[in-house]
Structure 1
Amino acid sequence: MDAGALAEDWLAAFRAVPRELFVPDRIWPGVADGSRQTALVDRAKDPVAWRAAVYSDVPLTTQWDDGRHRGDGLGTRPTSSSSMPRMVFSMLADLEVTAVRDGGRALEIGTGTGWNAGLLAHRLGGGNVVSVEYDATVARAAVANLRRAGLEAAVVVGDGRLGHGAGGPYSRTVATCSVGDVPYDWVRQTEDGGIIVAPWGTEYGGEAVVRLIVADGVASGSFTRSSAFMRLRQQRLPRPPFAAYLRGRAWPADGVRSTTSLSPAETGGWLAQFVIGLRVPGVFWRAERYGEKADGAGEADGTGGADGGGAYTLWLYSADTASWATADVVPGAVEFAVVQSGPRALWTEVEAAFRWWDRAGRPGFERFGLTVGADGQRAWLDRPGEGSWRV
């Protein structure tokens, strides 16, 4: 591939396991950064466009709203997809599947269309691949796709958080959905020296692929690159209604006013969100543009796109509904109005996290890491151990 993600040792698998055998007739192609989906492409109506989408380096949404959406338009939430090829092969490279000894086994969490399971089966042999899928309808389609490609893998319908202990231990474990909490069952089921690769992100936003090496019941390693995957269904983050925060009062309610010299727009990048989320647990945000309701009616999605393109208000919310804050962005301003309410001063926490990152030289994803043990998760910068913190 032009992007360089498809190494020579995966080229044979790419050719032997063509993506088109794993893509349904109706798809909604995404854009390369995973931020949105485009209009439906129906193979029966436009086979040329369908094939062009399949062999483009973009994700393809194959299910909306856990299968409830039936129309031609976009649904509310994409819930199953064929991941973009560049990310698929980058994660396989992180997994170092080519180094697995004969008889080594792989566990996949999130079967989806079955393409990734097919690539693993081509490399390791179908009897050495177990893939867990929560959605039974998606799992049946994946099995049919694998058979059509002449491949086998054990596709198990179940809760991905639990892995599949009966098939272990595994040399490699890979998640094709994002998590905010790496289940310890994945660590227990991966052998010493084995590798776990998973997209990981916080409630606040931002996400990156983490590569963990297992040793003595602990998995630890660095993040490798940014990512944007659908969340493991059992770890979807609930968003309280915005009305739960002001409790029927008009803004600023009981909020305490102050100002800051840090533009909230600077906190809106994908990497900045990732770092803030590492340092500020249990918080999410939205951007309120002029003309929107100031009382926050509706549901939060945490993806409002605080890009500084104009005037807007950044709202911060604690997951327990006890605290909130606003910070106004005005183009050209050097001071920005802040209002904070509740036991946590959320803007103060966010600003402190951002300035900590800034003082460190704004390190990228690859300088951060994660350690997962029986007692939970800890994040770190540059090296594990002293200086790590619980996430």
Structure 2
Amino acid sequence: MNLAIRDIRQNTVRFALTVTGVALLLTGASGMGGLYRGVVDDALRQLRLMKTDLWVVEGGTSGPFSEPSKVPFEVRDRALGVAGVANARSYFESSAMVQGTNLAVLGVDWPNDRGDWLPLTQGRHLAAGRGEAVVDRSLGYAIGDTMRLGRDDYQIVGIADRFISSMGDGMIALSLADARELQSERPVAEVRDANAKRARADGSLRTTPPGTSRDGGGSAMATAVLVDLAPGADQAVVARTIRQWGDVNVVPHEAQETFLLDGRLGRLRAQILTFTVLLFLITALVVTLIVYTLTMEKLHTIAMLKLLGARDRVILGLIVQQALAIGIAGFVVAQVMGALLFPLFPRTVVLTPGDRATYGAVLLVICIAASALGISRAMRVEAQEVLA
């Protein structure tokens, strides 16, 4: 009979409690990593849906996905006059609150941009310049419902899937005219509070959220202008031409992803990595303590095995197999816990098969390393100790 299995059967309750503790720690560690992946996936999803070639942003900034930006609405018309530009559309984003829920408002440059890129699951895209809205399904609206924003009502004509801002808020798409009017209605005090909140969230020294001017809500400006190049146009030449205006900066679309990951999400990545490492260290300590305790309780049995002529590899196998059993069972239970808990999180948790394999491999390495202390103590046991 396998000695490790026999010992586990004799201590079933303690083994189950140990496995549960390890599973909870692993669930926490994998949940932290999955949460970061989910935040990145949501943020990049919005950026990639708005695919374009160049972002024209406020001079001296990198764009709205790394820091606040504002440009005059006339920049769109100026961009359309540049050789090599096929299309240009204003991008406008602000915040609002509906029935105590924060949401992000996206101004679609209708009719130049009808929001055809929005990931609709129901309904249709915007077909009018006023009074229509497309919302994320997390906001709980249905096709035909009416949403009250500011002094106006907006009819819900489309429901989108995972239409979420980089800050995790559900989004609503309005025509640019509606979004500008909504922003201009906001009291200066409300705008100032929103500025301060966004600045704290971004860790930025700037205090102006995308789409608003520094002097309050009454003189809203575009967040950026998205420029699509004509076939065969030289991106570098077009970008250089626009930069020469002096009041704006031009950022390639691909660079926005880098700015987003290294800027707004950089600090979050460092924090999550720190907590994940801490949880794995705690797991290592817990498993080490349990395996060492189990070994100490079996010193008399180990001495008897040595007296009967058992080889060291038999004793080593007993300890290592118990540690691996704890790790494997903990990993399986953690997967079940994750499958039940992660869908309940308010933010998306993304765990790839590669992530799961990595966490499992780390846990097995921890269990093997944790058994080293117990093995060291067991190897020092002498056969004559059975008589003690």
Larger relative contact order (Cα-Cα within 8 Å, sequence gap ≥ 6): 2
Q: Which has the higher helix share?
A: 2
Q: Which has the higher strand share?
A: 1
Q: TM (normalized to structure 2)?
A: 0.23
In terms of Rg, which structure is larger? Answer: 2
Q: TM (normalized to structure 1)?
A: 0.23
